[in-house]
Amino acid sequence: MRNNTAQLADSRAESEDQKLPLPALLALATAVFITSLTETLPAGLLPAMSGNLKVSESAAGQTVTIYAIGTALTAIPLTAVTAGWRRKRLLLGAMAGFAVANTVTTVSTNFPLTMVARFVAGVAAGLAWALLAGYARRLAPVHLQGKAIAIAMAGIPIALSLGVPAGTFLGQALDWRAAFLIMTVLTIVLLVWITATVPDYPGQRPERRWPMLRTLTIPGVAPVLFVTLVFVLAHTILYTYIATFLDRLGMGDSIDLVLLVFGAASLVSIWIVGTQINRRLRTLTISSTLLVALAAAILAVLADSPALVYLAVVLWGLGWGGAPTLLQTAAGDAGGESADTVQAMLVTLWNVAMAAGGVAGGILLDMVGSTSFPWSVLVLLMPVLVVAVSARAHGFPAKRASTTS
């Protein structure tokens, strides 16, 4: 009887160890939500921001670019400098940076000051993005790490499905500054939430440092980083200027609804990815690329039909929603013992692509017009598809090495 009781107690303890710590993961998801929404919020507010700050829409679009530049410039050095720091203190510091930056954005009436605040927010994001995926991994047992990352990354589609449309609505009904003020309030609430529920971990300095160029020689790392760079670039060119694109189609009054549809489809996508990523990372990555390409083709050729625009947006959301989870998981798998370095490189390239997308989109808008955006997406996704399909052995393998049957 005692043996049975002991076995039952051990079984219950083991079961508890295998559960995901949802309060902590949801706090991380909220941090991802704030990070993502702070970055993309101007996409639905460009007309209002440009008018209030007395700059063109293409110039207002650079508020996304400068944010991305801040992240790209600082993700790798900050990750290296803070590798030995306690994780919780680091996360709290990064989120406090968002509170400060969004507050300054709210009260600023000067475009250069707004750009400085956006750069500071980007620096905070560089620290947060390099930290969050690894934090989610450490919170979960090995066989549930993919699901833990999916839960944390759910903040991205929620930001797109609820945050950006809500911010767009507030910008139209009240003032675009109200959206950034709400971000500050939400961040303060999150700081309390993290303090109460997220466990602390020591930093992890690698036993040996891999130079960046040598890291690129690890099988699978280069394909994952290439796909990340070009896929995000393609997405950003269209998403940053989606309000302008829709306005040219005569759908300017439907921006918030279009973004809501996009985000809802993204939520479905991340749910699918969360349930299937351990077994079908390769298939999901290729499918995501094809769905976004199909959406771009519809927008390029058939955008005169509002119904087909909504269809394209659904396909776009289904393709894009799970992409951050797919790419971060692929990077972690490929990096092995250098996973933190690879994650920092991924964050850097992700934001290089965001910055380049904002600049390229602005140039295309001024020189060619918004109708060029979906064609640009199509052209960029061709090499993405080729590399993803080719990286069968490493990068996007048919079966993840870390997956248990």
Query: pTM to 2 decimals?
Result: 0.73
Residue 92 predicted with pLDDT over 80: yes
Q: How far apart (Å, rounded) are the C-alpha atoms in residues 137 and 274?
A: 14
Sequence-ordered list of residues with C-beta below 8 angstroms from that of 129, at least 6 positions apart, any chain = 35, 71, 75, 347, 350, 351
pLDDT band at 337 (very low <50, low <70, confident <90, very high): low
pLDDT band at 293 (very low <50, low <70, confident <90, very high): very high
pLDDT band at 228 (very low <50, low <70, confident <90, very high): very high
pLDDT of residue 358: 77
Q: How far apart (Å, rounded) are the C-alpha atoms in residues 224 and 218?
A: 11
What average pLDDT does this structure show over 348-376? 84
Instruction: Calculate what percentage of the chain has a pLDDT beyond 90.
Output: 31
Q: How far apart (Å, rounded) are the C-alpha atoms in residues 50 and 59?
A: 8
Residue 330 predicted with pLDDT over 80: yes
Question: Which one, of 333, 236, 335, lies nearest residue 282 by Cα?
Answer: 333
Q: How far apart (Å, rounded) are the C-alpha atoms in residues 329 and 352?
A: 20
Average per-residue pLDDT in the chain?
83
What average pLDDT does this structure show over 119-126? 92
Other beta carbons within 10 angstroms of residue 208's beta carbon come to 6
Domain 20-198+213-390 fold: Growth Hormone; Chain: A; (1.20.1250)
Residue 207 predicted with pLDDT over 60: no
Sequence-ordered list of residues with C-beta below 8 angstroms from that of 350, at least 6 positions apart, any chain = 71, 129, 228, 229, 232
Query: 140: which DSSP letter?
Result: S
